[in-house]
Structure 1
Amino acid sequence: MKLFCIPYAGGSAAIYSRWRAELHPDIELVPLELPGRGSRIGEPLCRDIESLSRDAAARIRKEAGEAPFAVFGHSLGSLVAYEAAHLLLQDRGREPFHLFVSGRGAVHLEPKRERLLYPLGDQEFMEAIFELGGTPREVLQHKEILSLFLPILREDYRISETYVYRERPPFPFDITVMYGTEDRTHLPNVPEWSRHTGGECRLKAYEGDHFFLNDSRHRTEMIVLINHTLRSVPAAGLAAGTGLRT
């Protein structure tokens, strides 16, 4: 079983590096690097959710091979995971076994935000980002790092905040939704994820804000849940070489 993990806005594949040690040996971690950051820093940024999801889906197709797989995303990564999963459904026999979404309310509902962040001036934008957690204020002291990080983060937020939902049939596979109990932006819309699966939609709360997954204690709890979910796949329940449940 392969687990593809998609980072949040401004993040790189490296945010999932510590997961590998705690995942079950039968689960192969495959962190997806989005264009324009990390190991793909030389590539242009994607400018819309369609480009991001096509890129993610193409890499999943290539890396998954014939193995069964699941997809995890946090915040913007949840949007990309959701859209990529719909693209993968178009590949006969290549649907994910499971979708894990984290730090994002149901995609058909607007987040409960007070304002849009991406149009703000640099200083105001970064102050708003710091308030959300997940980004150290020390970034402001390193102008070179900030000059690289700010355009990536702003573009990611623009994609997330201007996302337009398109109605499609629910997924035929199960969804697990993880969320922080103090995430005021996304918490109200979390239960509505059930609309997007014809199977089971499981909700799991963690004490903390939007970036609860960066807490080492919660990270361990999340990986225990992922291990249990993906290790519960009966050997006969996956058609060989397709990723389909039978």
Structure 2
Amino acid sequence: MEKLVACVQKKPDAVCRLICFPWAGSGTSQLAQWGRLFNDSVEVFCIRLPGRETRLEEPFAKDMTSVVNEITSVLLKELKEKPFAFFGHSFGTYMSFAVALHLKKKYGLEPVHLFMSAAHSPNSAAYLAVKSIVLPDGPNDLLAIMEILGGNFELPHDEDLWRDTALTFKEDAKLFQTCSFEKTEMNIPFSCDITYFCGSDDKIYDAKGWQELTSGDTSFYELPGDHLYLLKPSNESFLIKHMTRSIENGL
């Protein structure tokens, strides 16, 4: 459990868990800290993939199916134990959606709310177009791919950090390309509410398709900032207040 999940503040009496799925090339350092910002009703878990942080010595995951299976098997007890919600940003949105589909299909489990951020809806033509991009080998070409897949955000200036981020990003991009959402699975798979967030200065995402993926309500919020708008303290505060209210209303 500790290998897969970062939980900086355990809250055994929380009424719901928020499982966070980070963006490509990153780890748990940002989203795990939300555990200190939510009130006692919400416990935050952040997913840590192989090849980074405490899992640095492990090989990167080769396909999304293996990621989904690991997350599901490790967290199944916790997900059955009390209500849960998902938050995914960018690449993390697709990972969270793949896990949610698997949980619904195999175990009949569904989040009380899906919070999606800075990503095309997986039933859109834009999603399929990004998924079919041929990944380059050169580090300079990779920068262009990061902008296509990752939107507009400032990259690290430190050379070693840039190299590590680029390597991890490329492996996550390969992982993203193994996502497969079958049409039969996409026939209104969820009944929970879905909220979609994005940055006003980020590239345009085709997000309206989320409405077709649930029989619940769908809402959309644009916040000031670029691809990593969620790291701005004012936006972070908005997200946490909004998610807390949505989760409590969904229980």
RMSD: 2.4
Give 1:221 shift. 0.6
Task: Please list every run of 5 or more consecutive structure 2 residues that lacks an aligned counterpart in the other structure.
Answer: 1-15
Task: Please list every run of 5 or more consecutive structure 1 residues that lacks an aligned counterpart in the other structure.
Answer: 235-246
Count of equivalent residues? 228
Equivalent residues of 2:152, 2:202 under 8 A apart: no
Q: Percent same amino acid at aligned positions?
A: 24
| Moved >6 Å (runs of 4+) | none
Residues 80-126 of structure 1: CA distance to partner in whole angstroms, max 9, x if unpaired?
1111001111344532111111111211122476x947325112313
Q: Give the whole-Å Cα distance in 1 for the aligned partners of 2:207 and 2:121.
A: 6
Which residue is 1:105 aligned to? 120
The change in CA–CA distance for 1:81 and 1:12 in structure 2 (over 3 A counts) is: same
The change in CA–CA distance for 1:163 and 1:89 in structure 2 (over 3 A counts) is: closer
The change in CA–CA distance for 1:94 and 1:165 in structure 2 (over 3 A counts) is: closer
Which residue is 2:111 aligned to? 96
2:210 equivalent among 189, 193, 212 = 193
Which residue is 1:172 aligned to? 191
Matched to 2:228, the amino acid is F
Which residue is 1:181 aligned to? 200
Matched to 2:158, the amino acid is V
TM-score, normalised relative to structure 1: 0.82
The change in CA–CA distance for 1:164 and 1:11 in structure 2 (over 3 A counts) is: same
Give 1:214 shift. 1.6
Equivalent residues of 2:153, 2:226 under 8 A apart: no
Matched to 1:183, the amino acid is D
Q: Give the whole-Å Cα distance in 2 for the aligned partners of 1:129 and 1:136.
A: 9
Which residue is 1:45 aligned to? 60
Give 1:198 shift. 1.1
The change in CA–CA distance for 1:179 and 1:147 in structure 2 (over 3 A counts) is: closer
Residues 21-53 of structure 1: CA distance to partner in whole angstroms, max 9, x if unpaired?
221211001111112212222222112222222
Give the 5 Å matches for 1:26-175. 26-109=41-124, 110-111=126-127, 116=133, 118-126=135-143, 129=146, 132-134=151-153, 136-140=155-159, 142=160, 145-161=161-177, 163-167=179-183, 168=185, 169-170=187-188, 171-175=190-194
